[in-house]
Structure 1
Amino acid sequence: MNYDALLWLSFGGPEGPDEVMPFLENVTRGRGVPRERLDEVAEHYQHFGGVSPINRLNREAIAAVEKELSAQGIELPVYFGNRNWRPMVEDTVARMAADGVRRALVFPTSAYGGYSACRQYDEDIARARAAVGADAPVLVKLRQFFDHPLFVGAFADAVRAAHAELGEGAGSRTVFVAHSVPVSADAAAGPPGEGGHRYSRQIAEAARLVAAEAGIGAYDVVWQSRSGPPQVPWLEPDIVDHIDALHADGVRAVVVCPVGFVSDHLEVIWDLDNEAAERAGELGMGFARAATPNADPRFAELVVELIREHICGAPVRKLSHFPAAGETADGAPCAPGCCEPVRRPS
């Protein structure tokens, strides 16, 4: 089937101090997040001059994908749109329509299932097409890739490099980290009786695959960046609490791998490079953080391979038995009701 373009669809982030609060209001609209919590998170952004690295990292990754497409002889322009901040996906899809794009693939910058990581991107696509109207291009989302060998390989090499940074004999424990979600939201992922779409299971599987590739036998899977009222259960333990527990058990150093992220989102550089690293330092523990994969050449190769599954029937490469939700001939389409948003108290 012919496609005219690729839409690179991401979360978005502020690129100046005056953009921080409007961006956070977009992110939390309708969620009842108190103003004091927004002010607290805003301070994290202001710590870095009010600039999130995510847009820059996306542009760099897009440039690498464009280079890889050209190297493989694939003519496919790449457009960039965000859910929460400029360039907004509605504006990007309008530009695509004006440019004559009729059918496009969509790469969402998340490897996993779940509401925020997967289904919400479907909602972004539907909202953007509705905003453009009858002239909107058909948009086909690429599949999840948490168990793709290129994704796993990039993280495995990053974990090895982090261990090498601490040196042999450091007694380092490997800890895989992903963004926490409410327990109820995680339980809502996938059709009844099938947990393959469940975010926490996919994170655990990705961690297992990376650890095996890196030759690591013992590791932990923990969470970061929880928000919301304290009475609502979220996936635990938190990374900082886990560092405390490791120290109490006599662990002398920790290698942290942000396996739930494809690039250095602000939450990676704040929650891990600042808060977790600081706590480890206070306890006298060695600390090293594995790199995220988007700067690795294999990430661009991965995106182009996902594209080739659609445009020339390239085989679907996976390292697990979990369903690869997404619109491919060999993939598993999402079931009705999969990853529904959790209803919040009014």
Structure 2
Amino acid sequence: MPIQSDEDALAPYDAVLLLSFGGPEAPEEVMPFLRRVTAGRDIPEERLEEVATHYHHFGGRSPINDQNRALLAALETEIAGRGSAVPVLWGNRNSDPFVTDTLRAARAEGLLRLCVVVTSAYSSYSGCRQYREDLAAATDELGIAAADLVIDKIRPYALHPGFVAVNTEHLVETVEAIPDLDPATTRLLFVTHSVPNAMDDTSGPGDGDGNLYVEQHLRTGRLVAQGLAERTGTSLEHELVFCSRSGSPRTPWLEPDVNDRIEELAAEGVRTVVVAPIGFVSDHMEVVNDLDREAKETADRVDVRFARVPTAGTHPLFVEALVDLVHERAAEARDELVVPAQADGGDVRPSICAGGCCPNLRAAKPALCGRD
């Protein structure tokens, strides 16, 4: 349910900034994009060329930018529908429109206080702090031109009721469309982007026990699976698996890989896998290539029926949830009492990150929207 608002509900913000990963939009942009993404990580050129083939399967164009354009339009409509004239801006980490250029243009237009919506729902270095580092780097590049900018960020939202609801809705629709489904020979695979074990081990507040990245996925998946059972009477055995591993083979990353697990399940007698990419908010490259193409090919090869659940995308429940989070952050900025919406009774991550939260394990860098 959208938060009721009036013209001042988003005060003190002048604009909302949709901040995303970015992606190439033409074949000639693929390698420069990959070099920006992996800068400082000593990834061999031949490995980048291998990854580039994923994009060339789709004409050298990532779907992520078009999806962000659609999400931006949906956010504008939802915000305006609640009586606010606050504009929605868009910036990327790794491709045009770069966040530095977006911030420069915002300041030139007199938009000085921004609320940032990141297209990543979970807590981790790559899902949260790295975006905060990018914001710090952008303001540093702008120098004195950024002196009067104030930038806040909404909190991680994997456990927000709206995000859980839309993933549940999509799972229900997918399962109900599968003919002759036998729960006994069906496995529900919740999928997210693999990260190095060390990144998961240090995800969360600096004085915590880490592993918040995996914990949040397990909590979200559990709620979504419960929602399926409650709405359809179908209970499916479920687990968390990973995709899109990259980097040195000597570095441990989160497992099992979705393809390996499908092969194992086939050997165990599973005949249908329902793949729900709850770790992603839209159908970008890790979904359309790593799941729709590669995981589907694996399932076909081992004679397992494959069904893939849509991501949140621009579903009204998701758009409403994001705008609710912006309203929540605006109320915090006005020093009003806020009771954060949460789909379970567990930990709610703050909008201002604690010191040492989800640290950069390669190099210490300044980050905005936190206490470090």
**How does the TM-score come out when normalised to structure 1?**
0.94
Going from structure 1 to structure 2, the CA distance change for 1:45 and 1:280 (only over 3 Å counts) comes to same
- Structure 2 residue 239 is the aligned partner of structure 1 residue 227: no
**Over residues 170-214 of structure 1, what are the superposed CA-to-partner deviations in whole Å (9 max), with x where a residue is unaligned?**
442110000000101111122356347721111111111111111
**Over residues 90-123 of structure 1, what are the superposed CA-to-partner deviations in whole Å (9 max), with x where a residue is unaligned?**
0000000101011110001000101000100110
Aligned to 1:155: 167
Aligned to 2:145: 135
- Structure 2 residue 181 is the aligned partner of structure 1 residue 169: yes
5 Å matches for 1:153-232?
153-170=165-182, 171-191=185-205, 194-195=208-209, 198-215=212-229, 216-232=235-251
5 Å matches for 1:220-259?
220-259=239-278
Return the alpha-carbon distance in structure 2 between the equivalents of residues 219 and 38 of structure 1.
Answer: 33
Return the alpha-carbon distance in structure 1 between the equivalents of residues 145 and 349 of structure 2.
Answer: 27
Return the alpha-carbon distance in structure 2 between the equivalents of residues 193 and 341 of structure 1.
Answer: 15
Going from structure 1 to structure 2, the CA distance change for 1:260 and 1:269 (only over 3 Å counts) comes to same
Select 1:316's aligned residue among 331, 340, 362: 340
Aligned to 1:98: 108
Secondary structure of 1:295's counterpart equals coil
Superposition deviation, residue 285 in structure 1: 1.0
Alignment check: 8 A CA contact 1:106 1:139 kept? yes
Alignment check: 8 A CA contact 1:195 1:201 kept? no
Alignment check: 8 A CA contact 2:75 2:319 kept? yes
- Structure 2 residue 280 is the aligned partner of structure 1 residue 261: yes
Select 2:62's aligned residue among 48, 52, 65: 52
Which 10-residue stretch deviates more, 120-129 or 190-199? 190-199
Secondary structure of 2:270's counterpart equals coil
Which 10-residue stretch deviates more, 293-302 or 268-277? 293-302
Secondary structure of 1:43's counterpart equals helix
Q: Which amino acid aligns with 2:269?
A: G
Superposition deviation, residue 295 in structure 1: 2.5
Return the alpha-carbon distance in structure 2 between the equivalents of residues 14 and 311 of structure 1.
Answer: 33
- Structure 2 residue 13 is the aligned partner of structure 1 residue 25: no
- Structure 2 residue 126 is the aligned partner of structure 1 residue 108: no
Which 10-residue stretch deviates more, 211-220 or 293-302? 211-220
Number of corresponding residues: 339
Return the alpha-carbon distance in structure 2 between the equivalents of residues 81 and 197 of structure 1.
Answer: 29
Secondary structure of 1:105's counterpart equals strand
- Structure 2 residue 290 is the aligned partner of structure 1 residue 271: yes
Aligned to 2:81: 71
How large is the Cα RMSD of the aligned pairs?
A: 1.6
Alignment check: 8 A CA contact 2:170 2:310 kept? yes
Going from structure 1 to structure 2, the CA distance change for 1:285 and 1:217 (only over 3 Å counts) comes to closer
Aligned to 2:362: 343
Return the alpha-carbon distance in structure 2 between the equivalents of residues 197 and 308 of structure 1.
Answer: 29
Alignment check: 8 A CA contact 1:165 1:288 kept? no
Return the alpha-carbon distance in structure 1 between the equivalents of residues 96 and 67 of structure 2.
Answer: 14
Alignment check: 8 A CA contact 1:180 1:223 kept? yes
Which 10-residue stretch deviates more, 132-141 or 263-272? 132-141
Alignment check: 8 A CA contact 2:31 2:52 kept? yes
**Over residues 64-83 of structure 1, what are the superposed CA-to-partner deviations in whole Å (9 max), with x where a residue is unaligned?**
11001111101210110000
Alignment check: 8 A CA contact 2:202 2:211 kept? no
Return the alpha-carbon distance in structure 2 between the equivalents of residues 311 and 340 of structure 1.
Answer: 26
Aligned to 1:85: 95
Alignment check: 8 A CA contact 2:188 2:236 kept? no
Return the alpha-carbon distance in structure 2 between the equivalents of residues 197 and 222 of structure 1.
Answer: 15
Return the alpha-carbon distance in structure 1 between the equivalents of residues 30 and 285 of structure 2.
Answer: 12
Going from structure 1 to structure 2, the CA distance change for 1:190 and 1:181 (only over 3 Å counts) comes to same
Q: Which amino acid aligns with 1:67?
A: T
Aligned to 1:43: 53
Q: Which amino acid aligns with 1:303?
A: L
Going from structure 1 to structure 2, the CA distance change for 1:86 and 1:37 (only over 3 Å counts) comes to same
**How does the TM-score come out when normalised to structure 2?**
0.88
Alignment check: 8 A CA contact 1:207 1:259 kept? yes
How much identity, in percent, do the aligned residues show? 45
Going from structure 1 to structure 2, the CA distance change for 1:41 and 1:106 (only over 3 Å counts) comes to same
Q: Which runs of 5+ in 2 are unaligned?
A: 1-10, 230-234, 364-372
Q: Which amino acid aligns with 2:107?
A: A
Secondary structure of 1:219's counterpart equals strand
Return the alpha-carbon distance in structure 1 between the equivalents of residues 318 and 155 of structure 2.
Answer: 15
Q: Which runs of 5+ in 1 are unaligned?
A: 328-332
**Over residues 239-261 of structure 1, what are the superposed CA-to-partner deviations in whole Å (9 max), with x where a residue is unaligned?**
00000111011000000000100
Superposition deviation, residue 164 in structure 1: 2.2
Alignment check: 8 A CA contact 2:205 2:355 kept? yes
Superposition deviation, residue 281 in structure 1: 0.8
